[in-house]
Structure 1
């Protein structure tokens, strides 16, 4: 099987020749491994895409996740200065902000004046909530601006380079993320309690915008789309609020993607053991992350027994406690156990870190993953699947 065929089989709940391997890299991990110009890696489409290809080939993953799309040259506008602070560290100065780009992490942005916050109770949904989303809310103060003339160019470029040799996945952001970014976590979460009808209107407005992005992405060569929904776990909202403020909106996006003939999976960080069946009700093809203790609360065997007949599972290596902190014997033991569980209990299983690979995970630990799927992840007639 090719890498692409292997991933497609797993997402289609079919048995491939061996366990597919595909992890998401954190931005910090990518830059620690590649040591590119950090500004170019963040803002330049070809630099970013070439980096994704190099990492995929270096670590022999079966797929590529494209976490940033719609690259724009707007960052050059109003740029006052660029200062080299040392190896792999650059400061950009703008009239309204300072950006620090480095190899270790996401860009850190400091605005000279605090952003004006909206009042949820009095917000005008049609006027104040964008109908056309032109940004990705990446992190605090960090926005990746989308070029409407180049929303999906990176996918065509990647496909021109790798063709059908591996699986290409896109990524979109959940409506809840946009909502919490706009109002802040405190006001946003309180708003779900105090103004649920208004919150629902806002979430629907963001959902419509995300669906537009997803529809266009489905016309590219991607095989699947990941919905990044990190704040929908138990650490932020109850399962009851998940059912009210997450499930209806992500389900709409999922229907759009599946009707277009693409696979779609949800990535939610932290503790989700109390809502696996709710997430299955979304209609998603699969789930990613499923953080184990102590980062989350998911037991992989339990997850496969509860939802593994209907969904593929992509996970769930602990990037910190296994790949970064454990000794070699413990790291290998953890990964072998996850492979064994996925092979015997899962209909569709892709070996991956739970969340993204942490920035300081060393190269040899990432290389270990392919060595282990080759050694322990080969399906055969004797492999018992339940």
Structure 2
């Protein structure tokens, strides 16, 4: 039995002959451990695919998460000049914005001085990115915010990384895709502070926007499954109790992630939610979304999930992916600490 089959068994709630292991590693970690230049890592789909394959080999993982399906087509057409040699390598765009491609972290968008986000009232749900400069649209595309509602209408180049990984290792290893949650799209359109205030001040407009961003997430998820992704991860980082109450989760997360889960499972693939931090009070709500699994379940002190309680609640219903503390066990610990936590 190969790695792909092991992961498939686990996601189908069967008992594999051993526990499969796979993990999304930080972009900075990948850049450092593959030795690639961070600008090339940010813009080159094939190079990024090869980095993901190399990291899988380095850690002997049973699968690969393509946390974006590819890099942004034609991004370099927006770039006036590049500084590969700076302490923080940077792409300088024609509109005065820049993208800082750090050597040990994610890439960051720095808008031009005249950049102004619209107010919530100014956002048009039928054209949510109509206000934005091309540089902002391109950077959001690099994070998989793509205003496409039909799985068949994407530019084929959007999937270049996923396609290459599937072609090279997809028969042997479990290859997963990812989408932003509808709420994550929403916060990246409004800005974090304004978006969280908006769900209190104007919930009706927020729900209208979330209905549209749900269509974005569904289209990208379904398109990746149809290309061969075995599962889809929902990146839903701002849905824990540090950001939203249970009531808010029920109103602004659950209905939309439920639609996403139904669409992906209807295509015959698994789907799991990634919400880091404190989710111990809402495991039942995540379960109600109809997902196949939950990723993270961070233990104290990073989160608040007690794994034995979570297993009792979720066993036989959805799979659990994770529960190792990435900070206190993996980063600050040693091999003895890791072995103790796993066993």
Normalised by the size of structure 1, how large is the TM-score? 0.80
Q: CA deviation at 1:122?
A: 4.6
After superposition, residues 171-250 of structure 1 pair within 5 angstroms as 171-250=178-257
Q: The residue matched to 1:92 in structure 2 has which SS?
A: strand
- Is residue 332 of structure 1 aligned with residue 339 of structure 2? yes
Map of 2:116 onto structure 1? 116
Map of 1:10 onto structure 2? 10
Contact 1:90 1:100 in 2 (8 A): yes
- Is residue 49 of structure 1 aligned with residue 56 of structure 2? no
Map of 2:92 onto structure 1? 93
Contact 1:70 1:148 in 2 (8 A): no
Q: Over the residues paired in the alignment, what is the CA RMSD in angstroms? A: 2.0
Map of 1:159 onto structure 2? 166
- Unaligned ranges ≥5, structure 2: 131-136, 147-153
Map of 1:284 onto structure 2? 291
Contact 1:271 1:291 in 2 (8 A): yes
Q: The residue matched to 2:299 in structure 1 has which SS?
A: coil
In the alignment, the residues of structure 1 paired with residue 61 and residue 108 of structure 2 have an alpha-carbon distance, to the nearest angstrom, of 29
Task: Report the count of equivalent residues.
Answer: 329
Q: CA deviation at 1:69?
A: 1.7
Q: CA deviation at 1:167?
A: 0.3
Contact 1:43 1:71 in 2 (8 A): yes
In the alignment, the residues of structure 2 paired with residue 214 and residue 110 of structure 1 have an alpha-carbon distance, to the nearest angstrom, of 28
After superposition, residues 73-84 of structure 1 pair within 5 angstroms as 73-84=73-84
For residues 318-349 of structure 1, the C-alpha deviation after alignment (integer angstroms, 9 at most, x for no partner) is 1110111124422321122xxxxxxxxxxxxx
Normalised by the size of structure 2, how large is the TM-score? 0.90
Go from structure 1 to structure 2 and tell me whether the alpha carbon gap of 1:124 and 1:136 turns closer, same or farther (over 3 Å shift). Answer: same
Go from structure 1 to structure 2 and tell me whether the alpha carbon gap of 1:25 and 1:286 turns closer, same or farther (over 3 Å shift). Answer: same
Q: The residue matched to 1:125 in structure 2 has which SS?
A: coil
- Structure with higher RCO (Cα < 8 A, 6+ apart): 1
